[in-house]
Amino acid sequence: MIDTDILIVGGGAIGLSCLNQVPPYLSRILIERNSSFGQEASSRNSEVIHSGIYYPHQSLKTEHCKVGRNELYRFCQGNQIPHRQCGKYVIATTENEEERLAELASHCEYEIVPFQRIGSDWLKRKIPFIKATSGLFFPLSGVFDSHRYLQTLEKKAKEKGAVLSYRSEFIKVLDRDPWTVEVRERGQTIQIRAKILINSAGGEAAKISNQVLTTDIYEHRFCRGRYFILKSFFQEPLQCLVYPVPEADGLGIHLTPDLKGTARLGPDSDWSSELDCHWDDLKSVFLNKTKKYLPDLKVQHLQPGFIGLRPKLFVRGQAHPDFLVEAHGKYLHLLGIESPGLTASLSLGAEVGRIVEKII
Binding of ligand FAD by 283 (CB under 6 A) = no
Tell me, residue by residue from 29 to 58, as one string, x for binding to ligand FAD by CB under 6 A and - for no binding.
Answer: --xxxx---xxxxx-xxxxx-x--------
Binding of ligand FAD by 312 (CB under 6 A) = no
Of 39 and 133, nearer to ligand FAD (C-beta) is 39
Burial of 59 (0-12, 13-18, 19+ CB in 10 A): middle
Tell me, residue by residue from 139 to 178, as one string, x for binding to ligand FAD by CB under 6 A and - for no binding.
Answer: ------------------------------xx--------
Q: Where are the beta strands (DSSP E) in the chain?
A: 2-9, 28-31, 48-49, 83-84, 88-92, 116-119, 134-138, 142-144, 163-165, 168-175, 179-185, 188-199, 218-230, 241-244, 254-257, 263-266, 302-315, 318-319, 324-328, 331-335
With CB under 6 A as the contact rule, the residue among 22, 153, 197, 337 that binds ligand FAD is: 337
2-9/188-199 β-pairing: parallel
Tell me, residue by residue from 246 to 275, as one string, x for binding to ligand FAD by CB under 6 A and - for no binding.
Answer: ---------------------x--------
Omega of the bond leading into 340 within 30 degrees of 0 (cis)? yes
Binding of ligand FAD by 349 (CB under 6 A) = no
Binding of ligand FAD by 238 (CB under 6 A) = no
Binding of ligand FAD by 343 (CB under 6 A) = yes
With CB under 6 A as the contact rule, the residue among 19, 342, 350, 356 that binds ligand FAD is: 342
Angle of helix 60-78 versus helix 341-359 axis, rounded to 10: 100
What's the min distance (Å) between Cβ of 23 and ligand FAD? Answer: 20
Give the interface size with ligand FAD as a residue count (CB under 6 A). 41
With CB under 6 A as the contact rule, the residue among 250, 252, 257, 308 that binds ligand FAD is: 308
Of 106-114, 152-160, 195-203, 271-279, the segment contacting ligand FAD by CB under 6 A is 195-203
Task: Give backbone dihedrals phi and psi of 255, rounded to 5 degrees, phi first.
Answer: -110, 120
Give alpha helix (H) positions in the chain. 13-21, 60-78, 95-111, 120-126, 146-159, 205-212, 279-290, 341-359
The whole-angstrom separation of Cα 303 and Cα 265 is 10
What's the min distance (Å) between Cβ of 43 and ligand FAD? Answer: 7
Of 134 and 180, nearer to ligand FAD (C-beta) is 180
Q: Tell me the residue type at 187.
A: G
Eight-state DSSP code of residue 21? H
With CB under 6 A as the contact rule, the residue among 225, 252, 257, 349 that binds ligand FAD is: 225
Strand partners, 225: 308
Of 197 and 356, nearer to ligand FAD (C-beta) is 197
Task: Give backbone dihedrals phi and psi of 2, rounded to 5 degrees, phi first.
Answer: -105, 135
Ranges within 2-21 binding ligand FAD (CB under 6 A): 9-15
Angle of helix 60-78 versus helix 146-159 axis, rounded to 10: 80
Of 76-84, 198-206, 211-219, 284-292, the segment contacting ligand FAD by CB under 6 A is 198-206
Bin 7: left if φ > 0, else alpha if -120 < ψ < 50, else beta.
beta
Of 114-122, 241-249, 341-349, 352-360, the segment contacting ligand FAD by CB under 6 A is 341-349
Binding of ligand FAD by 309 (CB under 6 A) = yes
What's the min distance (Å) between Cβ of 208 and ligand FAD? Answer: 6
290 three-class SS: helix
Bin 82: left if φ > 0, else alpha if -120 < ψ < 50, else beta.
beta
Binding of ligand FAD by 73 (CB under 6 A) = no
What's the min distance (Å) between Cβ of 182 and ligand FAD? Answer: 11
Residue 311 · residue 225 · CB < 8 Å: no
Q: What is the dihedral of CA 137, 323, 274, 306, to 10 degrees?
A: 30
Residues in contact with ligand FAD by the rule CB under 6 A: 9-15, 31-34, 38-42, 44-48, 50, 169-170, 200-204, 225, 267, 308-310, 337-343
